[in-house]
Amino acid sequence: MQNFQFSNPTKIIFGKGEIKRLPKEIPSNSKVLVIYGGGSVKKTGLLETIKEVLKDYQLGEFGGIEPNPTYETLMKAVELIRKENYDFLLAVGGGSVIDGTKFIAAAVPFTQGDPWELVEKHLPIDTALPFATVLTLPATGSEMNNGAVITRKALQAKLPFFSPVTFPRFSILDPIYTYTLPNKQIANGVVDAFVHVMEQYLTYPVAGKVQDRFAEGLLLTLVEEGPIALQDPENYDVRANIMWTATLALNGLIGSGVPQDWSTHMVGHEITALYGLDHAQTLAIVLPSMLEVMKEEKAAKLLQYSERIWNIDINLSPAEKIELAIEKTRNFFETMGVRTRLSDYGLGEETIEKIIAGLKAHGMVKLGEKGTVTTEVVRQVLALSL
């Protein structure tokens, strides 16, 4: 096992009806800005519930954060907060609203330059407004991590940032708020969480037995519960398991002390920045081909994955087991309704060089756990994904 430090300060408040705890968790004299997306929180009634629960606070609202949150929209919230002196942010929504809130929280006190520099130049972020979240879409793990991915439309750039001060203070996870999700978003969430686990598990063995078994538990839960969640949207236990799995998939636990890949995500971000596909759609396109192209380097873990996740016949040869495991991964995404080919989204060969140019422009030229996923490798991966 590799050396590591692990610290996660986010308090999780999990379960049905726990929204009532909001006033116990937000300091009583706070001026709170409630931040949300395109309006699902209005349709579902969650925004009204929150206003009612927080009726003793000074409250403001900022809506309109889009999927793949943009710098352009987020800077409007930054201006509003600076003008009106809000001192606590409450993100209500999925990964986009939470990521956007992380950027806003870091950008408000950053007055020495354009806050985009925090993302583009990886400037150290050592202060941010306090914020918390009410999660409505299990997928990204943003509710219990310190990362965010921000898009700058004008530059066709979608880039991640991290900081020790951008963990949520607390997150409320009530599975009932996920009942209103369209199947497409549930499927996206399951695929995103699955790929988060794979980015931290499917590398090379370092005798991280406990990390491997945590990771395998999360993958098996997604394989088991994902299809049921599509058919039985109001099954509380299914939704609860998916929600907690997605949080645990990217809260730092399973990635501690093991190598991490993240090449599928970095290629995926370029595809979203250029063509606007959903985050999970890009992952479903890239991961199976990435595993195929990198199968020699990843052979030991692919074999373990084939046996422990997909119960592949032990009598098959190692090469056959690996092929079958990759095929089953692709089939799982397809069964969830997330298509796995560029052509399924109307994209063809002409996209490959544009994606490569994006990776080069953003310095993403030596990806993967060993830095061996060069742009030439990505070219092969994308060609296999057509």
Residue closer to Zn ion by CB (options 192, 270) is: 192
Cβ atoms of residues 65 and 35 within 8 Å: yes
* 147-152 and 157-162 beta bridge pairing: antiparallel
The whole-angstrom separation of Cα 35 and Cα 98 is: 9
Q: For residue 244, give both structure tokens.
A: 């907690």
Q: Which partner in ligand NZQ, Zn ion, none is near 10 (CB below 5 to 8 A by kind)?
A: none
The whole-angstrom separation of Cα 308 and Cα 205 is: 14
- Least spacing, CB of residue 192 vs Zn ion, in Å: 4
Within 13 Å, how many C-alpha atoms sit on residue 101's CB side? Answer: 37
Q: Is 99 in the site for Zn ion (CB under 5 A)?
A: no
Cα dihedral sign for 63, 64, 70, 75?
negative
Q: Which partner in Zn ion, ligand NZQ, none is near 37 (CB below 5 to 8 A by kind)?
A: ligand NZQ
- Least spacing, CB of residue 10 vs ligand NZQ, in Å: 12
Q: Is 143 in the site for Zn ion (CB under 5 A)?
A: no
Q: Is 261 in the site for Zn ion (CB under 5 A)?
A: no
Span near Zn ion by CB under 5 A; candidates 101-109, 145-153, 187-195, 302-310:
187-195
Q: Is 30 left (phi over 0), alpha (psi -120 to 50) or beta?
A: beta
- Least spacing, CB of residue 305 vs ligand NZQ, in Å: 20
Torsion angle, CA of 26/28/30/35, rounded to 10 degrees? 40
Footprint of ligand NZQ (CB under 6 A): 37-41, 44, 67-68, 93-97, 99, 136-137, 139-142, 145, 147-149, 177-178, 180-181, 185, 188-189, 192, 250, 265, 279
Residue closer to Zn ion by CB (options 31, 184) is: 184
Q: Which partner in Zn ion, ligand NZQ, none is near 310 (CB below 5 to 8 A by kind)?
A: none
- Least spacing, CB of residue 345 vs ligand NZQ, in Å: 16
- Least spacing, CB of residue 265 vs Zn ion, in Å: 6
Q: Is 192 in the site for Zn ion (CB under 5 A)?
A: yes
- Residue 84, number of CB atoms within 10 A of its CB: 11
Q: Which partner in ligand NZQ, Zn ion, none is near 322 (CB below 5 to 8 A by kind)?
A: none
Residue closer to ligand NZQ by CB (options 197, 322) is: 197
Closest C-alpha to 170, from 135, 140, 133 = 133
The whole-angstrom separation of Cα 375 and Cα 359 is: 8
Cα dihedral sign for 309, 310, 316, 319?
negative
Cβ atoms of residues 229 and 238 within 8 Å: yes
Q: Which partner in ligand NZQ, Zn ion, none is near 149 (CB below 5 to 8 A by kind)?
A: ligand NZQ
- Least spacing, CB of residue 383 vs ligand NZQ, in Å: 24
Q: For residue 130, give both structure tokens.
A: 């306090």
User: In the window 19-58, what residues touch Zn ion (CB under 5 A)?
Assistant: none
Span near Zn ion by CB under 5 A; candidates 49-57, 107-115, 166-174, 190-198:
190-198
- Least spacing, CB of residue 204 vs ligand NZQ, in Å: 22
Q: Which partner in Zn ion, ligand NZQ, none is near 144 (CB below 5 to 8 A by kind)?
A: none
Cβ atoms of residues 32 and 90 within 8 Å: yes
Q: What are the residues binding Zn ion (CB under 5 A)?
A: 192
